[in-house]
A and B are shown apart, each in its own frame.
Chain A
Amino acid sequence: MKLDALNYILVAALVVSALGTVMAARLLMAALGLAITSAVLSIILFRFDAPLAAVFELSVCAGLIPAIFISAIGMTRRMSDEDLAERQKRRFRKLWFLPVLTILIGVALTRVHVALDFPMPGATAVKDVREVLWNLRHVDLVGQVVILMGGAFAVVVLVKELKHE
């Protein structure tokens, strides 16, 4: 697929949200950053004709995993504003190199040429997501349902039971 302007914007958004996730001082912001990163990645996957991967990324990585993180964060104590500001400063001091490193790796990747000198058969040419989910990958669909159930139990075990107690 040709890298048009929208793709560049999406990749930039992906990188920025991922960096924000890692560098955020507040756990809640980091969890939200993770959800945004996964959501942007899902859009990229949809645009790359990978609907199954996109659906999986969107539901599990953008939905379930941040939900579990947020559930766990809900059990923690809130930091004071002063502590938070100090923590944010320390985090920037510790991780300042990450954006620099990301830019350097990005530049290096555009310079490196990997010879794709092998036949690429291309993914199975089924475009309809229903066909993929119901006829080709239904075992994965069952697996995904079970992961969602596991996530639901995580919320019950980690949060609901705590409130109950």
Chain B
Amino acid sequence: MLPLLILVPLAALLLCNLPFNRQIRCTAVFLFAGAWSLIQSAMVLFRTDVLVAPSAINKFISFGLHLTDVGRVLLLTIGVVTFAAVMVGNRMVTGERARFNFINVLLVSLVGMNGAVTVTDLFSLYVFLEVTSVSSFVLIAFNRDRNGLEGAFKYLVMSAVATVMMLTAVGLMLMFAGDTSFSAVHKALTVNGGHMLAKLAMILFVSGLFIKGGLVPFHGWLPAAYSAAPAPVSVLLGGVVTKVSGIYALVQLSQNVFPPNAVVNHILMVVGTASIIVGALAALGQTDMKRLLAYSSISQVGYIILALGAAGQGGTPGKLALAGAVFHLFNHAIFKSLLFCNSAAVEDIVGTTDMLRLGGLGARMPLTSATSVVGLLSTAGIPPLSGFWSKLLIIVALWQSGLYAYAVLAVLFSVVTLAYLLTMQRKVFFGTLREELSRVTEVGMSLLLPQVILAIVTIALGVLFPLLFNTFLLPVGKL
């Protein structure tokens, strides 16, 4: 059934471009995208066995796809965040033609992300990462305004550099392995991993993924792209696209393809820590809500990468770090999508995300404000929300691995996270309502629903953590 994750959205994409009435096609494809993202999430949550079971389709098409435990988490993330983006897009993308184009490109992105999560070959991974990148480029530039085009151009240029690095690495690995499948490359690198060219290949691929993931020092494109993109695209990008194209690929490679390598692990930890620090400090000085959230994303992704590097230390702490990394990846996708949905709501009602022109909106938008509090507290790692548990796992794993300095920095910058997010909350939602905003009202159902769902998921993941720890996280970390 796994090929269906690629083929069904692709078939929908082809069908909706047949020459029928555009209005009907537009409505149908919006409904399909929302429904399919929910079906995908439900299948991962309740019927993973259906997804991975061989079916009649495998007799005709075998893409050699495989679903790992981490892949399951990502498929769920893709489903949930895509649903949120569809809901936000349904409200904020106006005009029949624009809506039709938006949902088409979003489906292309969905195909790319689903493919990247399930392939078992380095070249195929590269191909589907490119699918995701091309669709992201179009989505960022969707409004064709100056900022959007600038953000898309920066993303395109950096993405091209990453592509060169990754393709060079794939070429070198092909030279070692004679094949680009994960298993063949793993086998070849286990034997020849110490060779200079093998190390170069690993570092090139990892650096390419750093660019795609927007990690320091390759993060220049990310704030421009996130803040310039239309609101539903920011939800998609901030929530899941960079997670799949950079972070998931890194997890997959470091766990299943590259043999244990101290150099790569150190690079991961240093880059992760630098991202935590730079992202958080840069977020402190922002006056635009979306730009602040973009820098916050860099910082939070840093925690995932730091934990991934610690996972390479091996032993039980290493496995705990991996479980923490995957849990934080999922949590961050959810609460960052939530915060971007909040900013979309503000943008929809007020027409700006400039925090200097906002204030006191909590009185007029109580649900948006309340869900924003849930998102920011979870991001800062406040108990009992989901972000607290994933950060706790990461910090405990770092401490148990003897990486005390990294653990202390991780704790310290959680406090900084709380500082800049509370500042955001104060400037946007708390305080006295500005006179020019006196006519503001709460957003409609299309924007409220994703906020409420994502807030409930954030709370539920935190409250139900003991249950999740045994049934979900321990298998991921192979503890």
Contact = CB atoms under 8 A, between A and B. Distances in A.
Interface of A: 60, 68, 72, 75, 114, 116-124, 137-140, 142-147, 149-151, 153-154, 156-158, 161-162, 164
Nearest to B120: A139
Given A138-B63, A146-B108, A149-B13, A118 B127 contact: no
Given A121-B179, A157-B105, 20 more contacts: A72-B149, A114-B196, A116-B197, A117-B195, A118-B195, A120-B176, A121-B188, A124-B179, A138-B61, A139-B6, A139-B121, A143-B115, A146-B108, A146-B111, A150-B112, A153-B105, A157-B142, A161-B97, A161-B98, A161-B101
Contacts of A140: 123-124, 127
Contacts of B188: 121
A72 B138 CA distance: 11
A127 B291 CA distance: 50
B192 A118 contact: yes
Contacts of B144: 75, 157-158, 161-162
A156 B123 CA distance: 28
Interface stretch (B128-136, B326-334, B378-386): B128-136
B119 A150 contact: no
Interface of B: 6-7, 10, 13, 61, 63-65, 97-98, 101, 104-105, 108, 111-112, 115, 119, 121, 123-124, 127-128, 130-131, 134-135, 137-138, 141-142, 144, 149, 153, 174-179, 188, 191-192, 195-198
User: For B119, B142, B174, which residue has the most chain A Cβ atoms within 10 angstroms?
Assistant: B174
A142 B63 contact: yes
A78 to B, nearest CB: 17
A140 B127 CA distance: 6
Q: Specify the main secondary structure of chain A where it touches its partner.
A: helix
A143 B127 contact: yes
Nearest to B100: A156
A137 to B, nearest CB: 8
Given A120-B175, A146-B112, A154-B138, A139 B197 contact: no
Nearest to A60: B130
Given A150-B134, A154-B138, A161-B101, A143 B178 contact: no
Nearest to A156: B101
A151 B124 contact: no
Given A72-B149, A143-B127, A147-B131, A118 B176 contact: yes
Q: Specify the main secondary structure of chain B where it touches its partner.
A: helix
Contacts of A149: 13, 108
A139 B196 contact: no
B245 to A, nearest CB: 13
Nearest to A149: B108
Nearest to B197: A114
Contact of B134 (A137, A147, A162): A147
B138 A139 contact: no
A75 to B, nearest CB: 7
Nearest to B179: A124
Nearest to B13: A149
Given A120-B176, A139-B64, A153 B101 contact: yes
A153 B108 contact: yes
Contact of B128 (A68, A75, A138, A143): A143
A154 B140 CA distance: 11
A88 to B, nearest CB: 21
9 contacts: A72-B153, A118-B198, A121-B188, A143-B115, A146-B131, A157-B101, A157-B144, A161-B101, A161-B144
A119 B6 CA distance: 36
Contacts of B131: 143, 146-147, 150
Nearest to A151: B134
A150 B108 contact: yes
Contacts of A154: 134, 137-138
Contacts of B134: 147, 150-151, 154
Given A122-B178, A143-B124, A164-B97, A153 B149 contact: no
Given A150-B108, A154-B138, A139 B119 contact: yes
Nearest to B132: A150
B206 to A, nearest CB: 20
A142 B10 contact: yes
Nearest to A76: B149
Contact of A142 (B6, B104, B108, B153): B6
A121 B142 contact: no
A153 B63 contact: no
A142 B13 CA distance: 13
A160 to B, nearest CB: 9
B172 to A, nearest CB: 11
A41 B180 CA distance: 21
Contacts of B115: 139, 142-143, 146
Nearest to A121: B178
Contacts of A120: 175-176, 178
A149 B178 CA distance: 31
Q: 9 smallest A-B Cβ distances: which pairs?
A: A121-B178, A143-B127, A150-B134, A139-B63, A118-B192, A154-B138, A150-B108, A146-B131, A140-B127
